[in-house]
Amino acid sequence: MGTTGTTPTAVTWSAFEAAEPELAATVRERFGQYTHHALATLRKDGSPRLSGIEADFRAGELWLGMMPNSLKARDVRRDPRFSLLANPGEGTSMGGGDVRVSGRAVEVTDPEKLDWYATEVGMPMPFHVFRVELTEVVRTYVDGEEIVLRTWSPGRGVRTLRRGNDDSPPREVAR
């Protein structure tokens, strides 16, 4: 895995989970705490759009379902890049950390796969279904007096950065 031009190679959820099971389990747990999350997409003019969405882990994949011709569906059909932030929860505790996944939303058009998904989730068609291909996973949390960022991207693996509450640059720590 590497890069193609300046665009990172994307991988499926199952490939990420196999490569980084500990971080994947944290991400799944974090998304599982709440039903609704925040999806960032790109509008036709390139400006960001933030929308509520449900994320679904099923059959080794991360799925996004969207109402027919919703603005967010039109956004990712035009430009599949997105970021998905797990609901941070109530108050300021952030439920154990902030989790974000980014990548490309690949629309599922195969009628059999769409029927399977509709049956699995118990929703009647029509709706758009997208399978997620990951280019980045980030978990941010507070540990004592430091903020910790664990980042992953294809071909690079997990990096852990820590920084204090001052203007010192972050420092990378060994796994």
Query: What is the rounded CA–CA span in Å between residue 65 and residue 165?
Result: 39
Strand, coil or helix: 25: helix
Bridge partners (DSSP) of residue 103 are 82, 134
Could you tell me if residue 31 is left (phi over 0), alpha (psi between -120 and 50 degrees) or otherwise beta?
A: alpha
Mean pLDDT computed over 15-20:
95
Mean pLDDT of 144-167: 91
Q: Which helix or strand (DSSP H or E) is residue 71 part of? A: helix 71-78
What pTM does this model have? 0.88
Specify the DSSP class assigned to residue 86: P
Tell whether the model's pLDDT for residue 8 goes beyond 80. no
* pLDDT at 123 (0 to 100): 84
For residue 6, is pLDDT > 70?
A: no
Query: 110-143 burial, b for 16+ CB within 10 Å, e for fewer?
Result: eeeebeebbeeeeeeeebbbbbbbbbbbbbebee
pLDDT digits (tens, 9 = 90+) for 102-148: 999 999 999 999 999 999 888 888 889 999 999 999 999 988 889 99
* pLDDT tens-place string over residues 61-103: 999 999 988 999 999 999 999 999 998 877 666 667 899 999 9
Top pLDDT among 69 and 49 is at: 49
